[in-house]
């Protein structure tokens, strides 16, 4: 477990970056209104009809409520973790416990996002499903080797980056 902590931290960081990119690429929710005036990016790109728009708004509202709960829980745990940074007596067990709980929240959030897009796919026709698949692939940075949005290669493979902790 001790040797894997940097990997867990890197994994959590990469997941957070991917979620941030998905939210920014696919459009931000308008927190002032559920089902309001402006159509989102997906609605425009997939050219949803009125029935699909209604179903999408329900899915989107439910998804963002759930995601906000996960983000609030994660923030509380991170605050708890970093409030202890000056604590000389904090044990590795306490740190591992908090970071494991953060990891479980991140996993649950990623699963929620995956199933959200599956639900969107279920309201699409075949042509819209293909377009949605392309949008999601682009959003997560799988466009190819010339994609400027892809993250740089893992520096640890080249011996760069912070030294491992013991």
Phi, psi for residue 11 in degrees, rounded to 5: -60, -45
Domain ranges in the chain are 5-25+48-144
Of 14-28, 73-87, 95-109, 124-138, which range is least confident? 14-28
Whole-structure pTM value:
0.61
Helix (H, G, I), strand (E, B) or coil at 158: helix
pLDDT of amino acid 26 = 64
**Taking CA 25 as the corner, what is the angle to CA 136 and CA 39, rounded to the nearest 5 degrees?**
95
pLDDT > 90 in the chain, percent: 48
- Give ∠ CA 80-84-86 in degrees, rounded to 5: 155
Identify which of 134, 146, 106 has the alpha carbon closest to the alpha carbon of residue 13. 106
Question: Which string of DSSP letters, residue by residue, matches 30-98?
Answer: -TT-SS-SS--HHHHHHT--HHHHHHHHHHHHHHHHHHHHHHHHHHHHHHHHHHTTT-TT--HHHHHHH
Read off the pLDDT of each residue in 82-98 and give the average, rounded to a whole number: 89
């Amino acid at each position: 477990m001790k040797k894997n902590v940097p990997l867990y931290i890197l994994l959590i960081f990469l997941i957070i970056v991917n979620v941030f990119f998905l939210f920014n690429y696919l459009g931000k929710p308008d927190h002032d209104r559920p089902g309001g005036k402006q159509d989102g990016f997906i609605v425009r790109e997939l050219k949803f009809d009125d029935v699909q728009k209604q179903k999408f708004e329900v899915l989107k509202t439910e998804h963002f409520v759930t995601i906000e709960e996960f983000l609030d829980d994660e923030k509380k745990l991170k605050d708890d973790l970093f409030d202890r940074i000056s604590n000389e007596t904090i044990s590795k067990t306490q740190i591992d416990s908090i970071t494991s709980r953060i990891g479980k929240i991140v996993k649950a959030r990623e699963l929620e996002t995956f199933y959200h897009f599956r639900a969107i796919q279920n309201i699409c026709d075949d042509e819209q499903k293909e377009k949605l698949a392309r949008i999601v692939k682009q959003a997560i940075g799988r466009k190819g080797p010339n994609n400027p949005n892809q993250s740089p290669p893992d520096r640890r493979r080249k011996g760069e980056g912070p030294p491992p902790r013991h």
